[in-house]
Amino acid sequence: MEPMGGAKLDPGHAPSVEPLPSSSGSNCSDLTLKLEFSTKVVEHEYIIGFTGYFSAKARSLYISSALRNAADADALEWRIVPRQNPASDFPSDFELVHIRQASPGSLLTLEDHPYIKRVTPQRKVFRTLKYTPSPEPAAPCNATRSWQSSRPFRRTSLSLGTGFWHATGRHSSRRLLRAIPRHVAQILQADVLWQMGHTGSGVKVAVFDTGLSEKHPHFKNVKERTNWTNEKTLDDGLGHGTFVAGVIASMRECQGFAPDSELHIFRVFTNNQVSYTSWFLDAFNYAILKKIDVLNLSIGGPDFMDHPFVDKVWELTANKVIMVSAIGNDGPLYGTLNNPADQMDVIGVGGIDFEDNIARFSSRGMTTWELPGGYGRVKPDIVTYGSGVRGSGMKEGCRSLSGTSVASPVVAGAVTLLASTVLNRELVNPASMKQALIASARRLPGVNMFEQGHGKLDLIRAYQILNSYKPQASLSPSYIDLTESPYMWPYCSQPIYYGGMPTIVNVTILNGMGVTGRIVDKSEAGGELTSTVKLPIKVKIVPTPPRSKRVLWDQYHNLRYPPGYFPRDNLRMKNDPLDWNGDHIHTNFKDMYQHLRSMGYFVEVLGAPITCFDASQYGTLLMVDSEEEYFPEEITKLRRDIDNGLSLIVFSDWYNTSVMRKVKFYDENTRQWWMPDTGGANVPALNDLISVWGMAFSDGLYEGDFTLADHDMYYASGCSIARFPEDGIVIAKNLKDQGLEVLKQETAVVEGVPILGLYQTPSDGGGRIALYGDSNCIDDSHRQKDCFWLLDALLQYTSYSMTPPSLSHSHSRVAPPTGAERPLPQRLEGNHLYRYSKVLEAHLGDPKPRPLPACPHLSWAKPQPLNETAPSNLWKHQKLLSVDLDKVALPNMRAYRPQVRPLSPGESGAWDIPGGIMPGRYNQEVGQTIPVFAFLGAMVVLSFFVVQLTKAKSKPKRRKPRIKRPAYLQPQAATATGKSPTV
């Protein structure tokens, strides 16, 4: 997990907080709650994870046995930290140990023990609330109270402010009059199930939060309250846990979904909003022992490689605990999903408002676990109301909050209510419940699947599906239609064609039949419980576009948190220090991708080394914000490719070892103050790549506004060009020295900073190279002014050899720098990039490149074409081939609400292929004949119309016959015949 609120943490910080005032009576006030987060590692404390559950005595023996074998065993001072909580009397799969002066060798010795799985540091989380005056007038007691949050980088509460959802603008003189909404349970028609006698009875639901008061009037079935903190209280001193519990199970005022459910309160945060990893692990173990059915976790963070936490969540769902978690409040940016909601086995919940719009704060997909080689999963799983939702106040009364931590208990309450409606409880498990929720969800129009998942929660339809459910496997998504826009974005945004990079769609199998399963062929199905799934696929296929229109995005050399510390590209963003959004064209470069598509370019993603693509098929290779190293074979191949006509555009970023040391933080894995292993980009690696052409970037760090080609631009923590060929074009601007500001808090302006370079390689038919020192202007994360126009100009240069006059004749053009005035940046000594690099491996002395991996080998399916092709300019995006629905029997797919029919027994899984389609390769001779026949046919039709026109002119004119009145307008006729007229 990463630090919050800044790149450097204060290990001595211990925040405090006042109790949250009640939202009823005279305690109402016009205050805004502001959340601030920070973290630290507990000195000398380690979590020892075991391979199974053991008694306290056995765990102690295993640890002492392992440490006796350590090389520094005599110098080690260690003890087991006592954990006094309800789980202490049961076997456990971890131990908390205090080891003084632990060496890396002793920790490795611990992991060598056959019963010890992992050793990780103990972590401490701070969640601080501060009161600030509200800019709005005092609101009545039942009005919305605002929560404002900085982006959390730990597993933290995901509540958010709501005031801005109801404002029409700062300067407006009138405001919308909004009706007070009904309670969210009634809006989702929970009262229909209540009238049928279903109120959550017999279902155990756990709330992991800040506790609950013993005599709160809203709850009648609090089965157990447990405290996992070091405070001697079970009460909620903040109000967040009470609100979440109220949405699920309140029986009064702000009605919850399942008032008769068994409520288990787990207090895992103190009144000072402090928690520890070990508290969560103990509480999770206790939840398994208590056979909890539903667990709500309104917390999140981006670290899906926090192994003890993630592994324990997998164990919970394997024990039939249905976990519901908030997807995160980091929207509208894409690639911002929080863990554990981004896990496959967890129901990840996004937020909408009461007008069914996706809440701006709700995090968007895709999941970034699978990058760079694959493609992320669809998340969130489902969305529901999360803006201005009413829930229980801390002592009594109701209050309103917003955030995905509000949407999460809405779904958790609905799941609890649904579980109570099923007679055979054995059928209810995390997979079957998730299947029912996503199959019944209502598709929101005009919203893609990485924003809404499978759609809006529909409680009644989910009830109908769940009560007729039979154990089966299903798919998420249930079909692939690359022509369905906008739901299937980004897949629907670009057709596929021969020779393109594979289009990867991540489909998850949900197994409602058991904890484990495997994929088998139909012929292998024996006496086991099996289920047949069918995946309909529809795509649009076009002829291969010309080389000049094809752009290849280098994803392979982009890294992000976790597991390493990669700083943000814009150092001004101190509250958001880490680069963790994937650096993908469909996450934080989404707007750039949409722009390139609108300009007619086809953008493909390279998820393998540079050695694994055919450069003759592409006009431009686009490298943006690269942090990874390069194999020597990649450097050699790129030089050869550019000599043969491939062009290269590089958007670099800052790299300065002194600044990197300045933005260090206390790393939670190595337990030491740690510098980033690269800057905004890995400039030394980029310099190795482009050095053969006499090019290099500097270690300068610059910032400022300027004008280029009549466009306003902003340089955000970028570097400069240190070397460039003398016959190239270089543009320079006056910028502030941000490196000096960071290191010495001094301000200085540097004149003539080279920021842009264009170069035509000298080889016959060689490609072109363009360098720019900052990527922030095409990155959605903190972009202030976009430079898409510049990207267009660079692509015109690289793809068509058209030098933009606005750049070549610019007054800012300077002589190319030679690099003699200052040395080039060197890699930071002692960096740990090799620990998570795909290119480097540990070696005595400096890390060395790994052996070049083999390129991915694809097993191609047998082609069964559905289109009759013809030679044309159909590669243009406005003229796409489509499936002839009259010829092909396709699954019934209604707009926005697909209905996929399952296979009947014995039914073939293949589509019927219309007759007359030639299998295999397109016949070129036939393709050349088609235009001739088309021309002759057009001439015949034209001749026919000419003859008819001539005949019409030669005939004498005739008077128009009088139009006879229709029979149904003649009442006499109808009466005479005795029959009623037929309409």
382-424: per-residue pLDDT in tens?
Answer: 999 999 999 999 888 999 999 999 999 999 999 999 999 999 9
The whole-number pLDDT of residue 389 equals 93
Label residue 672 by pLDDT band (50, 70, 90): low
- Triad 436, 437, 439: Cα angle to 5°: 65
What are the pLDDT digits (tens) for 483-497? 999 999 999 999 999
The mean per-residue pLDDT over the stretch 448-476 comes to 95
Q: How many CB atoms lie within 10 A of CB 274?
A: 18
Among candidates 210, 207, 211, 228, which has minimal Cα distance to 296?
A: 207
C-alpha 341/C-alpha 348 separation (Å) is 4
pLDDT surpasses 80 at 925: no
State yes or no: pLDDT of 277 exceeds 50: yes
Residue 14: predicted pLDDT: 30
Work out the pLDDT band at 933, boundaries 50, 70, 90: low
- Per the document, the length of the chain is 983
* The pairing of beta strand 147-149 with beta strand 31-54: parallel
Task: Please spell the DSSP secondary structure of 874-911, one letter per residue.
Answer: TTSTTS-----TTTS----EETTEE-PPPPPTT--SSP
**The token pair that represents 344 in the structure block:** 């496959």
Q: Which helix (H) or strand (E) holds 281?
A: helix 277-289
Q: What is the pLDDT of residue 920?
A: 37
Q: Is the pLDDT of residue 600 over 70?
A: yes
pLDDT at residue 566, rounded to an integer: 82
CA-angle at 807, arms to 623 and 557, nearest 5°: 5
Higher pLDDT, 364 or 887: 364
Split at pLDDT 50, 70, 90, the class of 179 is: very low
Name the range with the highest mean pLDDT among 102-116, 264-278, 529-543, 902-916.
529-543
pLDDT at 11: 28
- Per-residue confidence at 521, pLDDT binned at 50, 70, 90? confident
Measured CA to CA, the distance from residue 427 to residue 746 in angstroms comes to: 67
Give me the active site residues, please.
Answer: 209, 240, 405
State yes or no: pLDDT of 961 exceeds 60: no
Whether 930 has a pLDDT exceeding 70, the answer reads no
**What local confidence, expressed as pLDDT, does residue 40 receive?**
60
pLDDT band (50, 70, 90) for residue 21 = very low
* Confidence at residue 968, expressed as pLDDT on a 0 to 100 scale: 42
pLDDT for the residue numbered 899: 38
Query: Which amino acid appears at position 10 of this protein?
Result: D
Task: Give the mean pLDDT of 630-640.
Answer: 97
- CA pair distance 492, 963, nearest whole angstrom: 52
Minimal CA–CA distance to 545: which of 647, 619, 643?
A: 619
Cα-flanking dihedrals φ and ψ of residue 659, to 5°?
-70, -35
Residue 156's pLDDT is 64
Residue, of 350 and 952, whose pLDDT is higher: 350
Whose CA is closest to 331, among 438, 245, 255, 403? 403
Residue 34 pLDDT exceeds 70: no
Whether pLDDT at 602 is above 70:
yes
- Tell me: the pLDDT tens digits for 199-229? 999 999 999 999 999 999 999 999 999 999 9
Does residue 902 carry a pLDDT above 80?
A: no
pLDDT band at 292 (very low <50, low <70, confident <90, very high): very high
Report the pLDDT value the prediction gives residue 466, as an integer from 0 to 100.
94
pLDDT band at 866 (very low <50, low <70, confident <90, very high): low
What is the reported pLDDT for 157?
Answer: 63
Helix, strand, coil % over all residues of the chain, rounded to 5: 25, 20, 55
Q: Using pLDDT thresholds of 50, 70 and 90, give the confidence band for residue 668.
A: very low
* Residue type at 884 in one-letter notation: D
Average pLDDT, integer, range 80-87? 91
Dist CA 782 CA 333 (whole Å): 10
The pLDDT tens digits of the residues spanning 48-67 come to: 999 999 999 999 999 998 88
Instruction: Please provide the average confidence, as pLDDT, over all residues in the chain.
Output: 80
890 pLDDT tier (thresholds 50, 70, 90): very low
- Give residue 867's pLDDT: 55
